[in-house]
């Protein structure tokens, strides 16, 4: 953890920067903020053409965490000590076809890794801030009983680290996120994930599990703009995102990593809403959730036979459903205008038709035209 003088100096530089930066044109906000956070003084907007020609920006990478990338269920065991190591990484990523964005992440992906522990475990968390970072970062676990969810203990400047230990007291599915001010900005840039605290008896087995999170991105440029896009702090404060995304990018769960399963299987989805501002109305078109563990509670009786589940910013849920028929089923937020801003996913189900459950009528031929 950074010492007291380092943190005060760093925060003072950031606050001075923020007061002046966010009054500037939106397109230079992010660049100026990063430069000033390092104590570099005011950043001139007119960077020389010569510098632009000689400095090659890093290539954009995929920041999408596949929905199948999560730890397996925990086998029956007594409580134990668990080590969790996370690294904050700032990376140029692919937001949309032809569009790049500077993400701040846990582990280079959005969302960050799903942390999986058992009720009663003692968890030691180490947060490392990559030396290449330009911002201070930390982490707030909503599953932690303790000041700031661990945020103060993990404050780390670039190249530094922080750590703390907590006991997993409450089973459930919880969000974690960076809590460095402005907190909403760090979350919107991709710094979020979830922690699953399994109950002592574990979870009932299912055929497949998936990990999905919804987020918002606030850019100065209009949605669909090609090239590099920049942050717009005023849009963030006004709660008017240009993009809504599942797992960090437009089309992430459509073309990059759709959910895949088979007829007859029971699947479980861990779903979280990172926000930072908007509530999600999570729905799968053509399916009904057999069980919904509302607000991420695993000790309350589940809701059954649910069409759409409301998940607030910083909240989560666990849903289960048995797949009866094949086809492609769309994951949406039922505030459906958001689909047009990138918020779509696909569940691809393979297997034999089940005409007792669903049978499409054969197409009708148009009437013939006799002369």
CATH number at residue 222: 2.60.40.420
Residue 102 lies in a domain: no
pLDDT digits (tens, 9 = 90+) for 195-214: 999 999 999 999 999 999 99
Residue 307: strand, helix, or coil: coil
| Structural domain boundaries enclosing 15 | 1-45
Report how far apart, in Å, the C-alpha atoms of 181 and of each of 35, 44, 154, 186 are.
16, 24, 14, 8
| pTM given for the model | 0.85
How many Cα atoms occupy the beta-carbon half-sphere of 126 within 13 Å? 8
Nearest in space to 93 (alpha carbons), one of 244, 233, 248, 218: 248
Decide if 53 is inside a domain.
no
Neighbours of 337 (CB within 10 A): 9
Q: Compute CA distances 254 → 105, 214, 250, 266, 339, whole Å.
A: 21, 14, 9, 21, 12
Assess if residue 114 is contained within a domain. no
Any domain includes 179: no
The verdict on residue 16 lying in a domain is yes
Tokens of 109: 């992906």
Does residue 304 belong to any structural domain of this protein?
Answer: yes
Question: β-strands 115-118, 99-106: how paired?
Answer: unpaired
> CB within 8 A of 55, min separation 6: which ones?
none
pLDDT along the chain (371 residues), means of 10: 53 46 36 33 33 56 98 96 99 98 99 99 99 98 98 98 99 99 98 99 98 99 98 98 99 95 99 99 99 98 99 99 98 98 98 96 77 59
Query: Is residue 55 domain-resident?
Result: no
Number of domains the chain contains: 2
Do the domain assignments include residue 88? Answer: no
Q: What is the pLDDT of residues 313-349, one digit of tens each?
A: 999 999 999 999 999 999 999 999 999 999 999 999 9
């Amino acid at each position: 953890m950074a010492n007291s003088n380092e943190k005060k100096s760093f925060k003072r530089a950031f606050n001075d920067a923020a007061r002046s930066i966010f009054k500037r044109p939106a397109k230079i906000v992010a660049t100026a903020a990063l430069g000033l956070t390092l104590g570099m003084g005011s950043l001139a907007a007119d960077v020389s053409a010569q510098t632009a020609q000689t400095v090659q920006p890093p290539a954009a990478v995929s920041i999408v965490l596949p929905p199948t990338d999560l730890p397996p269920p925990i086998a029956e065991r007594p409580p134990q000590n668990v080590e969790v190591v996370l690294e904050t990484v700032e990376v140029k990523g692919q937001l949309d076809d032809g569009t790049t964005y500077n993400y701040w992440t846990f582990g280079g992906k959005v969302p960050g890794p799903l942390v999986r522990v058992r009720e009663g475990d003692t968890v030691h968390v180490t947060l490392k801030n990559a030396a290449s970072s330009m911002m201070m970062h930390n982490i707030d676990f909503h599953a932690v009983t303790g000041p700031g969810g661990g945020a103060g203990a993990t404050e780390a400047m670039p190249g530094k680290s922080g750590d703390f230990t907590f006991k997993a007291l409450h089973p459930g599915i919880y969000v974690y996120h960076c809590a460095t001010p402005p907190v909403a900005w760090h979350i919107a840039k991709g710094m979020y994930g979830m922690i699953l605290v399994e109950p002592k008896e574990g979870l009932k087995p299912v055929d497949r599990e998936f990990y999905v999170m919804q987020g918002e991105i606030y850019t100065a440029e209009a949605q669909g703009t090609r090239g590099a896009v920049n942050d717009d702090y005023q849009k963030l404060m006004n709660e008017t995102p240009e993009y809504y995304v599942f797992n960090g990018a437009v089309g992430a769960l459509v073309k990059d990593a759709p959910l895949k399963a088979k007829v007859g299987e029971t699947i479980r989805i861990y779903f979280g809403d990172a926000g930072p501002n908007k509530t999600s109305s999570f729905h799968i078109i053509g399916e009904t959730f057999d069980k919904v563990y509302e607000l991420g509670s695993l000790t309350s009786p589940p809701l059954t036979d649910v069409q759409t589940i409301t998940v607030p910013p910083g909240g989560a849920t666990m849903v289960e459903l048995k797949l009866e028929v094949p086809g492609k089923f769309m994951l949406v937020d039922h505030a459906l205008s958001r689909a047009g801003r990138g918020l779509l996913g696909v569940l691809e189900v393979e297997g034999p038709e089940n005409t007792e459950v669903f049978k499409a009528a054969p197409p009708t031929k148009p009437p013939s035209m006799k002369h």
